[in-house]
Amino acid sequence: MVTTSEIAVEAQIEELADKPPLMSRIRDFGRRQPLGSVGLIIVLVMIFASVFATVLTPYDPEANAFEFMLTPPNFDYLMGTDQFGRDILTRIIYGARTALFVGFTAAFIGATVGLVLGVASAFFGGKFDLIFQRVMDVFMAFPLIILALAVVSIFGTGVQNVIIAITIPFIPRCARVVRSSALAIREIPYIDAARANGFSNSRIIMRHMVPNVMAPFLIMITAFVGQAILLEASLSYLGLGVQEPIPAWGLMLQGGAEEYVESAPWVAIWPGIAISLAVFGFNLFGDAVRDTLDPKLRSQ
């Protein structure tokens, strides 16, 4: 006699067998989302550069070489040097580490906390939902950069504090989006069936509601990474973010954007291009992820 568990296992095997191979799915994604593929390539290049930074460049990103200050781009220094004689290409490559670490960490933590709070608000409803939404409205009233400036002025500068300052503004934005999806899921009959079977609230939330709001959660993460990179660069440019001698694109702009804009424009041009490409790449990839995961857009 065939048991229920064996039937379930066979169904899973058939489902996996019906899925196209990985390369076929990648080609299909590239065909359907050409701009998203461009964004993905930019993201992968950033990740590759940050992981293999020590191999890609022979220079120390923090070592000063005053005899080579403000050297124009040449064969030894492809992007020139800054006011301390440091190789700009090296600092941009190592700066990708800082940007990705801050971006991914702040986006993941902010979106995860917002996911839990948004689902809980939709599930419990009533006064809890009302009070929670009013608190979120207060945070949403402040622009991202203003709220991040307020947080970093309280906690101070440094990589960890910058992550906290960027994470906090992301929480209400993700919570509001996730809550709107969770409200519809709360009314589905299987939620009532779970309550009738005596399941705890935490089990219903984690096993039945959270998995069904993962699509907006993933979309928010990809959107937040680009915003986090831009916020980190803005805070560092203002002197409230990452501090010297850590390589960071915002710090590179702070040191050369104004003082050397005429005498050594390469000091500001290359970091600005790096920031723009990173944000552009994550935005393109985030839009493609949204189009892929959203059933309404996917069917068009």
- Can you give the pLDDT at residue 19? 53
CA angle 173, 177, 180 (to 5 degrees): 140
pTM recorded for the entire structure: 0.83
Rounded to whole angstroms, the Cα distance separating 272 from 270 reads 5
| CATH number, span 43-54+81-298 | 1.10.3720.10
- In this structure, the number of other CB atoms found within 10 A of the CB of residue 71 comes to 18
For residue 52, the one-letter residue type is F
What does pLDDT average to in each consecutive run of 10 residues of the chain (300 residues)? 45 50 68 84 92 89 87 90 90 92 93 90 86 88 85 84 90 89 81 78 80 84 90 88 86 76 86 93 87 61
Per-residue exposure over 191-216, b if at least 16 CB sit within 10 Å of its own CB, e if not: beebeeeeeeeeebbeebbbeebeeb
Residue with tokens 């409200």: 183
| DSSP calls for 68-121 | GTTPPS-SSSTT-B-TTS-BHHHHHHHHHHHHHHHHHHHHHHHHHHHHHHHHHH
Handedness of CA 232, 163, 286, 16 (dihedral sign): positive
Question: What is the residue extent of each domain of the chain?
Answer: 43-54+81-298
**Spatial contact of 42 and 278, defined as CB atoms under 8 Å apart:** yes
- Can you give the pLDDT at residue 279? 93
Residue 155, judged by CB atoms within 10 A of its CB (0-12, 13-18, 19+), counts as middle
**Among candidate residues 43, 47, 46, 24, the one with its CA nearest the CA of residue 35:** 43
- Can you give the pLDDT at residue 1? 46
